Structure 1
Amino acid sequence: MVMAGDGRHPRDSAEWFDDDAGPLIRHFAVTRGRTHASRSDFAMVAVVQTVSPEPHVDPLHWGPEHREILRLCRRATVVADLGSDLDLPLSVLHVLLGDLLDNGLITLHEPFTPGERPSPKILRDVLHGLEAL
């Protein structure tokens, strides 16, 4: 869940967390009942960043979780770290990230695939070149 404005975790507030019941706002409410993201290829190690340092978002359109993602993504952030920071399951986070990506508020930088990585020979040559400096 999202951190409170004073930096406290929602579980620190009796208002938002009940030890017996769990979070008072269920994950399906956060995603408006959606269980799948508009895209399913968010890698846990993908890097997410806002398109602009201070994106203008309508607070009536975007929920607090969306706005918190935008706040955290002012600096490049790994998807897995976002899930941890927000205390959200990755499936919920993927739905929220899909919303922001579809609306052009964030960019997603996927990790290299094996075919895109430089060969070990090139890496060794670069390393030897750096060592020679």
Structure 2
Amino acid sequence: MARPGDHWFDDQAGPLVRPYARTGGRTMGAGHDLDMLTVVVVPNAAPPLRRVEPEYGDIVRLCRLPLSVAEVSAALRFPLAVTKILVGDLISDGILKFRAPVSPDTAPGDLNILRAVLDGIRKL
């Protein structure tokens, strides 16, 4: 039995709590098509967190500033698939807002516009 302060993982064996246990055995999220580049943030008017699992609280604390799903996954040291499910739960609860990355099909096609934007940024 682990004592307070003991690590719940062994470098050789990995974490003792397996990923499927963190998601309640779910392999699919709450219906949000989250990409690893999707940016998530806790808005100022977010409702209180009602989930008791510590992973959700960790995500909420991390997302006070906008982060990508990949950054949240890396910070928590969770697999990306697990992070997507947990983040999706918080989006469904209205605690997180998300912005999907721009797909190449919807990006501006005029290279001159992109060069002008880049020049403007360099002048700052």
For normalisation by structure 2, the TM-score amounts to: 0.79
C-alpha separation in 2, matches of 1:47 and 1:14: 33
Residue 34 (1) aligns with residue 29 (2): no
Q: Which amino acid aligns with 1:86?
A: L
Q: Which runs of 5+ in 1 are unaligned?
A: 1-12
C-alpha separation in 2, matches of 1:42 and 1:36: 11
C-alpha separation in 2, matches of 1:65 and 1:16: 14
- The structure-2 alpha-carbon separation of the partners of 1:25 and 1:112, relative to structure 1 and needing over 3 Å to count, comes to same
1:24 aligned partner: 16
Cα deviation for residue 112 of structure 1 reads 0.9
For normalisation by structure 1, the TM-score amounts to: 0.75
- 1:27-47 CA-to-partner distances (Å, cap 9, x unmatched) read 111101111112362111111
Pick one of 50, 56, 60 that aligns with 1:70: 60
- 1:81-132 CA-to-partner distances (Å, cap 9, x unmatched) read 1111000001100110110011111011111112322221222344567789
C-alpha separation in 1, matches of 2:55 and 2:111: 41
Q: C-alpha root-mean-square deviation of aligned residues, in Å?
A: 2.7
1:7 aligned partner: none
- The structure-2 alpha-carbon separation of the partners of 1:26 and 1:129, relative to structure 1 and needing over 3 Å to count, comes to closer
C-alpha separation in 2, matches of 1:108 and 1:62: 22
Residue 105 (1) aligns with residue 107 (2): no
Number of aligned pairs?
119
Q: Which amino acid aligns with 1:49?
A: V
- 1:6-31 CA-to-partner distances (Å, cap 9, x unmatched) read xxxxxxx5341234543222211110
Q: Which runs of 5+ in 2 are unaligned?
A: none
Percent identical among aligned pairs is: 39
Pick one of 42, 67, 76 that aligns with 1:50: 42
